[in-house]
Every structure is written in C-alpha cells, then in structure tokens.
Amino acid sequence: MTFLAALILITSLASPLSLSAKGVDLENGSITIALRQEPPNLDSSLSEDTTSSKVLRLSNEGLVGVNRRGQVVPRIAKSWDIEVMQMTFHLRDNAKWSNGDPVTAHDFVYSWRRLVDPKTGARGSTLFAHLIANADEIMSGELPAQELGVEALDDFTFRVTLSQPASYFIHIASTVNYFPLNQKFVEAQGDRHAADAKNILSNGPFIIDEWVHSANIELSRNPHYWNKEEVRLEALDFGYITADSRSLLNLYNSGDIAELELEEDILKDAINNGLRIRKVPRNCIAWVWLNSRESRATSDRRLREAIRLALDRDAYVNNIVALPGTERIDSPFTKALRGVKGDFSSEYPAPEIEYSAALGKALIEEIRAEKGEVPPVVLLANETRQIEAEFIQGQLISKLGLDVKVDKQTFKQAIEKQRNGDFDLARVGFCGGSLTDPITYAASFESTGPFNDGGYNNPEYDRLINVTRNTIDPVKRMEAFDEMQKLIHKDIPMIPTHQYSYVYIQDQRLAGFQRYPIEDFSRGRIR
C-alpha cells in the first residue's frame, strides 16, 4: 500500500459536518457548490467541455439518460424501438419547456438538423452525426440540413434513420449535443442565444435564474419539469467560479460550498485536514498535443520524439498529478473502451512508450547540427494546469536544453487558442463519459476532424477511420483501431500521459450526485 493510499484509508471515516447555511441550506432545500471555470458555451449544440455539460445536465435533458451502471434510462423518451437501421422514440406528452411549451419531436428534429448544419459550426457534430443518414453529405455542404435522417412522425414520435447499423447510438442520444431546442425561442434570441440566463430555455430539472459571468450561476427547481417529484433540491447555486484551488478548499472547510473536486495542489491539504477523500472512475484521458502543422516548431518529428523520450511520465503521474485512481497510459484510448469481447486495451495492447532523456538529447543535437538551432517552444495551459505545465517545461529545459515558454490562459481562452492551433504543446483532457466505442477518441486525430487541434494529417489514419465507420464486423473495426494507435505511436502527434478518476470531497449530508459514467447532479438531495 502506498503512503498516499494509507493516508486516504486513515481519513476515510473523517468528514466534517458543515454548520453553515450556505453550502447546505436544510431549511430552504438548497446547496451551494463551485465551478473551476466559466462554462465556455451553454448552447447545447456548441458545448464541447465537461464544465458546460455539468450545467446543461441540470437545466436540460434529451431523449434518454445514463445511470450509474452505464444503463440507458428514459428521459423525454418514455420508450423506444430499435431496428437495424432505425430508432423510433416515443416521447412523453407531459414534458414541457420552462415557458410552458410542450417538448415535441419537432424540437429534436430542429436541434439535430442545427447540429449538423455547417452554418452552426458545431465541432461535436462530426464525432457521431455521421451515423445518421445523410449527415456526412450535409456537413460537407452537398445536401441541406432538411435532408438529415430524422423526422417527427407526429408531435410525440421521433424517428432516426441511421447510415449504418450502430447499436451504441442510443448512448450517443444521451449526450448534450443531442438535447432538443425550441426553434421559436432560439431564433428569437439570435446571436444572444445561451449567452445569459434570460437567453436560455430549460426543459430539465432546473432553470438557470442568474448567470453572472465568471462569478456565479444560480439554478432553481423547474416547476414545469415532467418528473419534478424526483427533483429533491429547491435550488442549486454554483456560488463561486474560480480556478484558485486553495480558495475553494477554504470555502469547503468553512461550509460555504458542499462539494469539491480535488486537484493535485490541494489533495495533501485535504488529507491533512482529516477530510474523507472519495473517488469514482472516469472514462477520461489526459494527453499532450504536439502540433504537427508546418508553421510550428514541433512540425519536426524528431523534436516530437525527443520531447516524448525526455518526458518522465511516471514522475509526472505519480508526483505531480498524484491523484488516487490516476494511471499512466500508453494508448490514445482509455481502458474503459470495449473491444470485440472484452476491454479494447486487453485485446489490443498499445506499444510501450520509451523513456530515455539521453536518446532525446541526441535527437536535439541532430536537429541543431542540421538547422543550427531549435526554435522556441510554446506550451499552452489553462489556469488550472499550471503545476503540470511547469513540470513539463522543467523537463524539457533540463533534459533537452529547449527554450520553453508556458502560455497561461483562462479555460475559455485556452480552448480557443487550442482550437486555432496556436501552440506547440498543449496539455488537454478528454472524457468519453458513457461512450465506450473507440471512435469516441479516435476521431480526435482525423485530419479533417474539428477536434484535431494538433493538425495531425496521415491519409492512412483517415482510411482506417473510414474502415471503422463503414463496416459492422467487430473484429475488422477493432483491428483498425489497433492500427490507429500504432500510427499515433509512430507519428507522435500526441503523448498520452494518464487516465484519471473523479476525486472529491463532499458534505456527508449530500446524496444522489452521479459522477460516473457521466456527471449528473440533477437527482442530488440533502439527507
């Protein structure tokens, strides 16, 4: 047993009972928690991060949800029929928007068409929308969005026609990008849609009453919600939005917030304070992008290889990240993904990543001998990842003699710069939630994919992606994914570092907060 594990075991019975009425307000049935960053986008079509999804799963919902066991459960759809190439969802007739309008099949038709319409610019559309008939042609501009394989058979029957058999599409329907939208409301808001609380229409358990940007988000129980009896909280307040971990821990200790996800910089303090450390697994991976674009210093494969060789990932994971449930990983795919019969990682082990600072230094000398110098390197990191960024910076300076600058940005700004390819290295995280098909991660490295922030371009990789999309043979699909992870290992557009868990502390009076396989606090309660 490690020292850290022993400490967690010792403190597992210790959990302070906050007496403050701020974090847990028994009288009014409300709680206050915090966000580490401002949600970049609460437009469900455009959302692509876990912070925005966390808020959206409180204010809105889709056809189905996913429970703690990873099982699909009814939400707006009370039942569904699955055929080889079609899925028909039967909607409940008592689901309403927060303005009193009924939620209908037409709201899903509008939302899904909007998602794939190139004019919307939704990056999330390309991950799975190709499974819907005509989606590829719409996203490439060959067909209008009205040709998407979705239709409202009547107000409460929604049918999806697939482009290929995909039994896992029912899980995709649970993601926030596939939530419904009220066309009349969205179009009335214009460019302001989802910009502020007044520009958001809810159909979920809560309504967003107030959104003071970078300060707080207040939600209250939705009186129009079809299943309001199951919603036990009267209000949920994200009372603080800050990346300052120590301030957040102080807020928890003083009872001002009732729950807190722990980062590496405050884990030991939480343990020393005698707090009960909890963790649940997550289908999430962290990696370092190495920008392959010709305009960047890291376009030279030798430099990318030198960086990978010099980065001590064991020290990074065990000493810097140092969170329970964190595990070093050599693949771009998490260990939560399914293979042919079992786990993909067991059936198709990834090539092992070598660590050798000496070999890395030799490659740098080779570049210097040829070019005279190695260009400066820019490492992009958001404000919550500074400790990790500084470790990587230190490794590359001390072991390779590189000139490395850390470009510190807010969460939203970092996403924007990452999207624009404005970096050489970038530390990123990606969560697949309940989606356990390897395509969830593989699509990030497709040359034309919107999530390919590192500019990776290999025609063979793209061919393999198409193999997985155009065959239903499970063995052929998984063999193609295996070839993809081997190409990633060879070309080095990224360095996988670790798979991680959700590590948190929580007031002992709280219950019902779901954190796996997706983060959904909508059924939380005070006991």
Query: Using CA atoms, how far apart are residues 425 and 454, in angstroms rounded to an integer?
Result: 9
- Residues 527, 509 contacting (CB under 8 angstroms): yes
pLDDT for 311 equals 99
CA distances from 461 to 49, 136, 152, 290, 432 (A): 25, 18, 37, 17, 21
- Residues 423, 295 contacting (CB under 8 angstroms): no
pLDDT for 5 equals 43
Quote the distance between the C-alpha of residue 158 and its chain's center.
27
pLDDT for 130 equals 84
Domain 61-188 has CATH 3.40.50.9100: no
Using DSSP's 3-state secondary structure scheme, residue 391 falls into helix
Question: Which residues 6+ apart lie within 8 Å of 526 measured at CB?
Answer: 24, 26, 29, 31, 232, 233, 509, 510, 511
Q: Which residues of the chain, if any, have pLDDT below 70?
A: 1-21
Which residues in 242-343 belong to E strands, given as ranges?
Answer: 259-261, 278-280, 284-290, 327-328
Structure tokens at 437: 């098909």
Query: Using CA atoms, how far apart are residues 142 and 138, in angstroms rounded to an integer?
Result: 6
- CATH superfamily of domain region 3-36+205-281+503-526: Periplasmic binding protein-like II (3.40.190.10)
pLDDT for 128 equals 84
Give pTM, 2 decimals.
0.90
pLDDT for 162 equals 97
Q: What is the pLDDT of residues 206-243, one digit of tens each?
A: 999 999 999 999 999 999 999 999 999 999 999 999 99
Structure tokens at 51: 């912070």
Same fold, 3-36+205-281+503-526 and 61-188: no
pLDDT for 274 equals 96
Cross-strand bridge partners of residue 405: 378
Query: Using CA atoms, how far apart are residues 460 and 440, in angstroms rounded to an integer?
Result: 19
The ranges assigned to domains in the chain are 3-36+205-281+503-526, 61-188, 284-499
Domain 284-499 has CATH 3.10.105.10: yes
Structure tokens at 377: 């390197």
